[in-house]
Amino acid sequence: MSNLTPHLLATQFLELPLNNPLMNASGVWCSVASQLEALTESAAGAMVSKSCTLQPRDGNPEPRYRVLDGENQPFGSINSMGLPNEGFNYYLRYAQRHDYEAKPLFISLSGLTLDDNLTMVDALKDAVLPALLEINLSCPNVPGKSQTGYDFEAMDMMLAEVSSGYQRGFGVKLPPYFDMAHFDEAAEILNRYPLVAFVTCINSIGNALAIDLDSETTLIKPKDGFGGLGGDFVLPTALANVNAFYRRCPEKAIIGCGGVKSGRDAFLHILAGATLVQIGTSLLEEGPGIFPRVQTELAAIMVKKGYQSVDEFRGKLKTL
């Protein structure tokens, strides 16, 4: 990383100073303490833990993740992990010893029921930690459970209950939306809740199907091969969702997630309105060394364009 990079990429998230706007996507490099420690020591500007449930879970049967990098197709991944995680108390214990001076920590909760979420929210509140709370409304991979983000009534109730239980700012991770009416309706619900301080767009594009031509078989086992899509396939959808919520939720910070593997992709997310940018599939494939690479590439683009901070171009997307 050049000496200029830290200065150029320094930013703030909800008034927290960060060295740079890059972080992991929840689920990648953040399921166990050794991975969380590696992220703390990495060049990431912030980090988030694996979306957890109240009790530990094994998740779905394997194979449940495949990289898609074959001939004639873009780089990406399909997964149906099914929320394998160590259980809320494990991540709470990590949060109690996290080095917050090194970088902010987001704790992601994905309770299987509203009550489970409220139990975890209460415990996190009682722990009085500087960790940032994210409620994941968008896991597409738990058999028999639909995504709360696609059920606006349930989403409204979740936000009402978490707001009144937590009484501090928190964020939500949303699924991708594909219809202007759905952007409008989701944003209108989010804007009812001033404690919703940030919105992460997007989770994987749910229930895609990847098939191996030779064996005529699905690439992953759970749910007859249906799983969440990440990587190059999802970048334009992620940018659309970042920009849609940036425009509609001016009081909230937006975290961009989806299709980031280079400084160019991170630049586009920030241009669309993201304050932080998460890396998922590419982090899994490349490891935490991806952070300094993407930072160097992002800084080089900024230098070439004459930008001296990420604040200068955030949300400044031009339209025709």
Q: Which of 5, 148, 203, 275 binds ligand SIN (CB under 6 A)?
A: 203
Among 18, 139, 159, 205, binds ligand SIN (CB under 6 A): 139
Cβ at position 129, least distance to ligand SIN in Å: 22
**Candidate residues 111, 149, 228, 280; the one interacting with ligand SIN per rule CB under 6 A:** 228
Among 24, 51, 200, 218, binds ligand SIN (CB under 6 A): 51
By CB under 6 A, is residue 81 in contact with ligand SIN?
A: yes
Amino acid (one-letter) located at 43: A
Q: Does 204 bind ligand SIN (CB under 6 A)?
A: yes
Amino acid identity of 146? S
Min. distance of Cβ 139 from ligand SIN in angstroms? 3
* 139 is a catalytic site residue: yes
Which among 80-88, 157-165, 285-293, 299-307 is the span making contact with ligand SIN, rule CB under 6 A?
A: 80-88
Q: For ligand SIN, which is the closer residue by CB, 27 or 259?
A: 27
Decide whether 19 or 147 has the Cβ nearer to ligand SIN.
147
Q: How far is the CB of 80 from ligand SIN (least distance, A)?
A: 6
Marked catalytic residue, from 139, 201, 249, 257 = 139
Among all residues, which ones are annotated catalytic? 139
Residues in contact with ligand SIN by CB under 6 A are 27, 51, 81-83, 136, 138-139, 141, 203-204, 228
